[in-house]
Amino acid sequence: MTRAELTEKLLDIKREKGWSWKYVCGEIGGMSPVLVTGAVLGQMKMTKPQAAKAAEMFGLSQSEQTLLNEVPNRGSPMPPTDPLIYRLYELVMVNGPALKALIEEEFGDGIMSAIDFDLQLERLAHAKGDRVQILMSGKFLPYKYYGNEQGIPEYGYKEE
């Protein structure tokens, strides 16, 4: 069985049982609901205890349980065709240059980690329609200036 086939199997069972993501995440536990949902969708790796809980919950075989604990191939074709995912992609395409400039001005030359990273999703009530709030927090990783000379710091050079 491929990871994509296992994902489809898990989604079929979730639909048949009428489970919400909140329920699935609560039963498997151990990580953020975004990560648990991502793991069920095949984009993240579950720990062995989480994979065991998922296997029991979904009635999986030992090989399917093991597959949940393997590092997946992450990502999707670009540009995304799903409207909601495309809007998130568009949000980064449009606002990415400004976010990059502001991050570099504040922190120096580097990147925001998507590995040492937290992500939270919240629904906010609003008179004109509820709002989606996404909070991202990634560790700043400065670029290394190898072979640096003349007082240039090794990491995250930022001119004052």
Catalytic residue among 87, 131, 137, 154: 87
Name the nearest CA neighbour of 55 among 82, 35, 28: 28
Pair of tokens at residue 126: 């609003």
Distance, CA of 24 to CA of 56 (rounded, Å): 12
Place of tokens 């489809």: 8
Distance, CA of 49 to CA of 32 (rounded, Å): 15
Catalytic residue among 56, 70, 90, 154: 90
Query: Is 113 among the catalytic positions?
Result: yes
To which H or E segment does residue 110 belong?
strand 110-124
Query: Is 5 among the catalytic positions?
Result: no
Query: Is 90 among the catalytic positions?
Result: yes
Catalytic residue among 61, 113, 137, 154: 113
- Catalytic residue numbers read 87, 90, 113
